[in-house]
Structure 1
Amino acid sequence: MRIGIAGIAIESSTFSPHRTGLADFRVTRGADLLARYTWTANSDVEWVPLLHAVSLPGGAVQADVYASLKSEILARLVGAGPLDGLVLDIHGAMSVVGLADAEADLVAAIRATVGPSVLISASMDLHGNVSHDFVAHLDLVTCYRMAPHEDAWETKERAARNLVARLRSGVRPHLAWVQVPVLLPGEKTSTRIEPAHSLYGRIPAIEATDGILDASIWVGYAWADEPRCQAAVVVTGDDPQLVQDTATSLAEDYWRARADFAFVAPTGTLAECVAQGLASTARPFFISDSGDNPTAGGAGDVSWTLGKLLAYPSLSAIYASIVDPAAVAVAAAAKVGGQVDLLVGGKIDPGPSGPVRVTGTVRTVREDPVGGTVVVVQAGGVHVIITERRKPYHLVRDFTDLGLDPATVDLTFVKIGYLEPELYDLAEGWLLALTPGGVDQDLLRLGHKGIQRPMYPFDPDMPTPDLTATLLR
């Protein structure tokens, strides 16, 4: 059998002024695309690589960039010859300038190109959005069951495995879908803690039930202002009544738990978090600059937190990081040991502060495959990491490669929400600072206008919705 692989994967904040261009995507085709997936190497399936584009989360994708990527996928589908199936590897929260439901637009065009007989199986992030117009064009869909997403590659393989099994059996599954009018940030829905831990923990047993193929729960994406943004449940399988009843039950469980979701770490204002961190003896001590998290769609250059830190006397800290190619160029030209006086950040997203002055000594200049040229400027006791391109700091080596050790400073600030596994294991102390930016944890402060209402928590006293799942096939 012949199965194509394609996708455009990005998470986009419509509250960020950043715009995602072609240079932000890593585009793979041919053998490079197949090399992304270990399960394509040893298989009797003929995997047909089309195009896959993936970007660090950011602002909405420029319309012409999306149109170009979409057109190439469609052209490659036409040129690929007859296909039995297609694995669609996406995130599910892509926003495109001028579109209200980018994934629905993409999959509708793919379906029109391949026709009704080709089975399409989508792999998604649980922070994706699942609208009716999107899922109506799919035969199979599954999403991550862990946040942080330690099962991302397992999920992609499951989408492929389910597709192959259904092509071999010749039996198209039934699919039930329901949206749940709840919209919460990922930092309140981590599977590390309840109630998400138990909700997602039920899925393997449900999946093992006779008549069920897959059950998936989507949290949705909180930082886009589109009607599709809300939680959702999809169940697939061979027993239509069981499929529908199971989807309804999972949706009702999610709704009942809506007020139980809580932040994955203690929270506070920046000043409160700094005070608690300095008072603690735990080291390393991390503080999340959550409002400008680039892995959730933040611009990565909101300078508000950095400006506040630089005003603290005698603060020993690492700040990771802020993107500013112009500042990086000046610091790199000054070389290690050079003195610089920079205006940093606030150029993509001016936010509440605009650029801030960073005056100090260049300690490191290094090339990074993600961040481009990266410099460390020491301003007083604060080591400021400045990057040429947007880069998240998730790994221990992200710091050690720069000669920095979070254990040797009082506080390490990261533009992130929940800590990714390596930093989570490293941290002896951790607080989530509720800072401003395009992915502000305070959703009410952001001012959504395009989401469907009523919606929890925007309408906390809303009546209980009808969560009976729709059997789409």
Structure 2
Amino acid sequence: MKSVGKEGKIRIALAGLFEEVNTFADETMGKAKITGNMTTGFQQWADQALIDDYKGSKTYMGGFIAALEEFPEVDIVPTTFWSFSAGGTIEGKAYQQMKKDILDRLAASMPLDAVALCLHGAGVAEGIDDAETDLTAAIRKQLGPRVKVISAQDHHSNLSDDDVRQLDLLSLVYHYPHIDMYETAYRAAKLLPGMVKGDIKPYGHFERLPLIMQAMSTMDGNLYAPIRKKVEEFSKRDGIYEFSFAYGFPFADVPFNSPVVNCWATSPELAEKTAKEFAALLWQYRDRFVAKPLSTEEAVHQALTMLVKQGRILPTEVGRPLLYDESTALLSSAKEELERSSGFLPDEKNPGPIVIADKSDNPGAGAPGDATHLLRELIKNNVQQAAVCAIRDPETVQKAIKAGVRKIIDVELGGKGSKLGGAPIRGKAYVKSISDGRYTIVSPMGTGTKFDVGPAVGLLIEGIDVAVISGTMQAFDANQMKLVGFDPQDYRIVVVKSANHFRAWWTGIASQIIDCDAPGIGSNDLSTFAFKRKTRKVYPLDADAVYPEPGK
């Protein structure tokens, strides 16, 4: 195919619309709107600012840019990118405004040979179950069949059958935490000039499985690691341009939140055969990939028991497993041990903190990030040297700022965003620090990404340090606690609001990681959700689900 660009240049546009939508968040958190800050709503990057902010970052856009810059014959045309980490259904007015902006800027950038789209894959707008397909269909209609359209997406995509027909190639991350966003976009964009020239023609096939999958990590030693390794194995086969797996996003109540095998190959037959082979294998071992959620009480109990084993509650060996009440009493009264551990370094004698992941209140899954279950449990047991990072509560932040550092304030902390998140923590709090809430990710997951969670404060509540932020953002590394002056090495227990992305950084720091699944709109106990729009039987909610599905 001959390029339409000047001087033989291939013109490739960058564009995108990115949000992971939790439809169960709508009732208490409202619709997702344009706010100008991606921690509270949609933020826009346009024109050269899109290149300036994302070039060199370990993100999808960073991967697109890096790959395309390797081709001298390519002109990169930045248009517009709208992004909100996660939240409720996109307000209809906001979606139409963003969609129109993308279409208008693409039209103004013509002639184009291709478009590289950064999409999440689990976008839902008012009246539109699949925002990504709606957008790509509009782009396809406007630009015509000649222009190549590719997308790099999260593996929590809820793919509808139209996606494979609208796109010329779809790539998905392998890892959760998504440490390979950059690589995922890079490998797709590397194929794009050849696709424009007609040298490369990927044929895609989606193979859907009657499953609903939890939000579990693919890191080595975690539940979904075998799936990830098998995906990577299939991707190396001859004739395969892209092989990946969309686990689906269960917190979006749409008819197609079941997982899909995504295969693009040199022929339609090879794509279909390979996808079906993988699907049959996963179905055969489906019972191995179901996790039993851990309650708040069980998670804290497990953390305390581990502290005993580490000798950080008792300075001597413990001859028998301690009962819950005994271990908590020892933790709160062992002054000598407390002093020894303060400011510890993670070595053999003093390992890093035990990290408890508040999975069900993960802002990265659309939860409000202000649940109080774990903080209440730590207070109940008089746990010392613990930190919770972070609770979203802009009202409390403003009260603390008004009072100032070293002042004591009355708080009703958290418990405002969801009826499942627990009641607010009411009492006195000591203001330790005040911050502007700006930080940069250093984790392998999203390295270089800049966040502004708004004004933030560090509070001391019943002996526990609590980072309180104004915006909604999950913990990727320790910078969300460091911004209020909390050092992760100063704590025995650290609670993070994240499902799995935190693992990319914390795995090398924590002495143990414990998944906690208190009530919440990001819970891995999927039986607690009322899936009103389910159109098929899905395992494990339906034990009698079958694959292949009759008539599908």
Report TM bin, short chain.
over 0.9
1:20-54 per-position Cα deviation (integer Å, ceiling 9, x unaligned): 22112231111121232341445321111121112
1:333-387 per-position Cα deviation (integer Å, ceiling 9, x unaligned): 1111000101122222232534331412100111122221111110121111111
- The 5 A counterparts of 1:64-463 are 64-187=93-216, 190-193=218-221, 196-263=224-291, 268-281=294-307, 282=310, 283-351=352-420, 353-369=422-438, 370-418=452-500, 419-463=502-546
Q: Residue in 2 aligned with 1:31?
A: 48
Contact 1:302 1:350 in 2 (8 A): no
Percent identity of paired positions between Structure 1 and Structure 2: 28
* Alignment-mate amino acid for residue 404 of structure 1: F
Distance apart, 1:203 and its partner CA: 4.1
How many Å separate the matches in 1 of 2:510 and 2:290? 20
How many Å separate the matches in 2 of 1:426 and 1:332? 31
Change in Cα spacing, 1:148 to 1:446, as seen in structure 2 (3 Å) is same
SS at match of 1:229: coil
SS at match of 1:425: coil
Change in Cα spacing, 1:463 to 1:208, as seen in structure 2 (3 Å) is closer
Change in Cα spacing, 1:6 to 1:95, as seen in structure 2 (3 Å) is same
Contact 1:147 1:192 in 2 (8 A): no
Select between 8-17 and 274-283 the one with higher mean Cα deviation: 274-283
How many Å separate the matches in 2 of 1:296 and 1:211? 35
How many Å separate the matches in 1 of 2:490 and 2:471? 27
Change in Cα spacing, 1:194 to 1:324, as seen in structure 2 (3 Å) is closer
Contact 2:23 2:253 in 1 (8 A): yes
How many Å separate the matches in 1 of 2:383 and 2:521? 30
Contact 1:267 1:273 in 2 (8 A): no
* Alignment-mate amino acid for residue 108 of structure 1: A
* Alignment-mate amino acid for residue 486 of structure 2: L
SS at match of 2:363: coil
Contact 2:203 2:268 in 1 (8 A): yes
* Alignment-mate amino acid for residue 355 of structure 2: F
- Residue segments in structure 1 that go unaligned for 5+ positions in a row: none
Contact 1:125 1:144 in 2 (8 A): yes
How many Å separate the matches in 1 of 2:16 and 2:103? 11
Distance apart, 1:57 and its partner CA: 1.4
* Alignment-mate amino acid for residue 403 of structure 1: G
Change in Cα spacing, 1:205 to 1:464, as seen in structure 2 (3 Å) is closer
Distance apart, 1:128 and its partner CA: 0.8
SS at match of 1:328: helix
How many Å separate the matches in 2 of 1:308 and 1:233? 41
Change in Cα spacing, 1:51 to 1:243, as seen in structure 2 (3 Å) is same
SS at match of 1:201: helix
* Alignment-mate amino acid for residue 12 of structure 2: I
How many Å separate the matches in 1 of 2:19 and 2:396? 27
- Residue segments in structure 2 that go unaligned for 5+ positions in a row: 1-9, 36-40, 55-61, 311-351, 439-451
* Alignment-mate amino acid for residue 34 of structure 1: I
How many Å separate the matches in 2 of 1:272 and 1:206? 38
TM-score of the two chains, using structure 2 as the length reference: 0.80
How many Å separate the matches in 1 of 2:298 and 2:280? 37
Select between 205-214 and 115-124 the one with higher mean Cα deviation: 205-214
How many Å separate the matches in 2 of 1:196 and 1:392? 21
How many Å separate the matches in 1 of 2:223 and 2:510? 23
1:135-163 per-position Cα deviation (integer Å, ceiling 9, x unaligned): 22111111001111111111111121122
* Alignment-mate amino acid for residue 74 of structure 1: L
Contact 2:235 2:243 in 1 (8 A): yes
Contact 2:218 2:228 in 1 (8 A): no
